[in-house]
Amino acid sequence: MELIVLYSEIFRSIQGEGHYTGVPTAWLRFFGCNLECNGFGQENPKDPSTYKLPYEQIDVTNITSVEELPVFKYGCDSSYSWSKKFAKIQKKGTPEEVAEKLNSYMKGDQWHVAFTGGEPMLKAAQKNQVAIMEHLNMPKSITIETNSTAPIFPELKEAQLKYQKDLGTEFFYSCSPKMFSVSGEKDVVRPKVVKGYHDISNKGQLKFVCNGTDESWDEIEDAIEQFRDHGITYPVWIMPVGALEETQKDNAAEIAEQTMDRGYNVSARVHCYIWGNQIGT
C-alpha cells in the first residue's frame, strides 16, 4: 500500500527561533501531536478550568484550508496541526509529492529544511521522514522541531546515520520541552528520549518557553540539570511566552535580562517581527 503523508502545510520562510535564526528554510508541518499545551497564554496555565480555548469555538463549516484560520491567542498557536476538529482540512500527498514541494523552495546552498508539527517524532511521522528524504534534494542541514517526548525508532535512526556518513547531512534536534507552569503539560521532561537524539547528532538545542515567573525558571533549571546529568550538551535558548507578537512584548525584555543573567541564549521570534504570527510563515 502506498504511503500517504498527512500534513498541515508546506511553506518557505526563515527559521525564526534559536540557532538557525534568519536562515532560509523549507518547512513541512506534520499533522498530529501527543500533547495539547492548552495552558499557553492562559492567566493560570496550571488550572484547565480557567482556560480560554478559541480553537474549540471556531466554526469550521466554511473553512477549506488551514491557511484560512487565525493564530489563536490562547492555547497552542498551532492547534490546527493536531486537533481532530481540523482533520478534514489537512493536506495529503505521497512522499515523492511532498519532497517535490520542498525541493521547489530550496534555492542555492543556504537553504535548510525543517520538519515540525504537530509532532514530527511520532512513529508515523518518522516513517514519513524516511520516505520523503529518499526523494529530497538533501540540504546541508535538517532541523527536527520536537517536544522531545517520543523516542527515535530504528528506521529513522539508520536513515539519519546513513545521510550523515554518506552526504555529511547535519540533523539538528531543536528540543522544546514543555514546562507545566507555562504549557499546562505535566511530566514531559524526558532526558532519556533526548539522549537518543543526542547519540545520533550532537547538533541541537534545548529551547524553553518562559513566562518569567520564579516557578517557570525553577522548572527550566531542573530540566536543564536532568539533561546535563544524561550527558546532553545541547546549548540552551530561552524564548518569552506569547503566541502573538504584541503579547510577547509584555515581558520579553525582563525575561531576556534574566536569561542573560543565567548564562543562556535569548530566542526571539523573528518571523513574527517580519510577517506577523500567521500560518505559513
Question: Does residue 280 fall inside a structural domain?
Answer: no
Percentage of the chain with pLDDT > 70?
Answer: 94
Span 170-174, average pLDDT: 98
Question: Does residue 55 fall inside a structural domain?
Answer: yes
Given this model, what pLDDT does residue 246 score? Answer: 47
Instruction: Give pTM, 2 decimals.
Output: 0.94
Q: What order do you get walking across the sheet with 236-240 strand by strand? A: 91-93, 5-14, 24-30, 112-116, 141-146, 170-175, 204-210, 236-240, 265-266
Which one is predicted more confidently, 116 or 244? Answer: 116
Span 219-236, average pLDDT: 98
The mean pLDDT of the chain is 93
Say whether pLDDT at 145 is over 70.
Answer: yes
CATH of the domain at 119: 3.20.20.70
102-133 tens-digit pLDDT: 999 998 888 999 999 999 999 999 999 999 99
Given this model, what pLDDT does residue 24 score? Answer: 95
Question: Does residue 130 fall inside a structural domain?
Answer: yes
Residue 230 sits in which domain range? 5-275
Question: Does residue 208 fall inside a structural domain?
Answer: yes
Question: Does residue 281 fall inside a structural domain?
Answer: no
Number of domains in the chain: 1
Question: Does residue 121 fall inside a structural domain?
Answer: yes
